[in-house]
Structure 1
Amino acid sequence: MQSSLLIAERPLPPLSRIAFSVAMTVLAWENRRHTRAALKRLDPHVLRDIGLDPVAAVDEAEKPFWRA
């Protein structure tokens, strides 16, 4: 158990930090792609329930996954 604590305290090597950053970016892109696809499928009354204008929802859903 002690060794796992020591691993967590050491900073990651530069290449590992880059790989981790790339992985987190890809995960964020996938999350955006998934949520925007789901947004396209929502009915107008559901959009109103969550406080979104249908036009704004379409604008958001049409954004490419890499744009925040």
Structure 2
Amino acid sequence: MTLFSTFTRIFPATHGASAIGLSAIAKFAAVSRQRRALAKLDDAALLDMGLTRADVNAELKRPVWDVPSNWRG
């Protein structure tokens, strides 16, 4: 499976191929930004969210396209 077919399967677009690419890039950038922000939180903030440093490290190792299905809409 190619990277493009993975993008289009995970992030379907309704306005043609260019929308698929732009939509996927925007969503991947958002996921990447959110994961970087998560990595910067201190242990007290993680505890407030019910997360451990191990949870965060596991999240950071996931590929950018590996997101919950409800985020793909």
Task: Calculate the TM-score normalised by the size of structure 1.
Answer: 0.66
How many equivalent residue pairs? 53
Give yes or no for contact 1:36–1:62 (8 Å, CA) kept in 2.
no
Gapped runs of 5+ residues in structure 2? 1-14, 68-73
Task: Calculate the TM-score normalised by the size of structure 2.
Answer: 0.62
CA RMSD of aligned residues (A): 1.4
The aligned runs of 1:13-24 (5 Å cut-off) are 16-24=15-23
Which structure's CA Rg is the greater one? 1
Gapped runs of 5+ residues in structure 1? 1-15
**Aligned residue in 1 for 2:35:** 36
Per the alignment, in what secondary structure is the counterpart of residue 64 of structure 1?
A: coil
Give the ranges of 4+ consecutive aligned residues of structure 1 lying more than 3 Å apart after TM superposition: none
Residue identity over aligned pairs, in percent, reads 23
